[in-house]
Structure 1
Amino acid sequence: MEGLISGKSRTYAEFKPSIPATIIPLFDELRDYCLSLGKNVIEDVRMHRVVFSKSIKFRSFADIEPQRDHIVIKIKKGRKESEKEMQVKTNDNLEEVKKLLLEAYTNIH
């Protein structure tokens, strides 16, 4: 299934060296959380970011992009709702972000 969305298969292991070392633990935590939401979560590793979708229908609910000292997260709960964009830094509490990710995963169809 890898590469079905973007057309080119790229692994997270290939992407990880492009993430600034200071935010790798934060990125890994968010990635692991997204993947833990369900067996139907699909990870699409793109050139500068990782997109998480629900099932083969490719309804993306999270777009996570590393920056120098933070991560930009775009969360989408549905086609008709606008996406919520936020920045997360290494010392930020992730509980609210995880709550929003779970809501988006649950509500996306």
Structure 2
Amino acid sequence: MEGLVSGKKRTYDEFRSNMPSGVATLFDELRRYCLTLGKNVIEDIRMHRIVFAKSIKFRSFADIEPQRDSIIIKIKKDRKEPEKEIQIKLDDNLDEIKKLLLNAYTSIH
């Protein structure tokens, strides 16, 4: 099933190459953080964004999309709750965002 449309799944480096450098640096930090949340984190690199999920059940907890000078994160803790959309600027502190990501990851069963 991998790469059904293009014949090849995109790599993170290919995805990252289309971002402005400041956004790419911020995106790298968020990506590294999401991947350290647990051994069962799955990264799904899509055309314009990356979705992070917990386990093979693919219960997504973060949908991260780079913009020209910011990043939009959609955080989802539960299927019954609406997702929370946050726009992060290049000079924003990520401490609160990381807490929200951790909370979303740990709330998925």
How far is 1:2 from its partner? 6.4
Query: What is the CA RMSD across the aligned residues, in angstroms?
Result: 1.9
Code of the residue aligned with 1:92 in structure 2: it is D
How many residues are aligned here? 107
Runs of 4+ in 1 over 3 A off after TM superposition: none
CA deviations over 1:42-96 (Å, ceiling 9, x no partner): 0000000000000000000000000000000000001111100000011101111
Corresponding residue for residue 38 of structure 2: 38
Contact 1:27 1:66 survives alignment (8 Å): yes
2:89 maps to 1:89: yes
How far is 1:9 from its partner? 2.0
CA deviations over 1:10-61 (Å, ceiling 9, x no partner): 2111101111112111000000000000000000000000000000000000
5+ residue gaps in structure 1? none
Corresponding residue for residue 21 of structure 1: 21
For the residues of structure 2 that align with 1:58 and 1:97, how far apart are their CA atoms?
21
Code of the residue aligned with 1:80 in structure 2: it is K
Corresponding residue for residue 59 of structure 1: 59
Contact 1:2 1:44 survives alignment (8 Å): no
2:17 partner SS: helix
2:74 maps to 1:49: no
TM-score by length of 2: 0.91
1:99 partner SS: helix
For the residues of structure 2 that align with 1:36 and 1:85, how far apart are their CA atoms?
22
For the residues of structure 2 that align with 1:61 and 1:8, how far apart are their CA atoms?
25
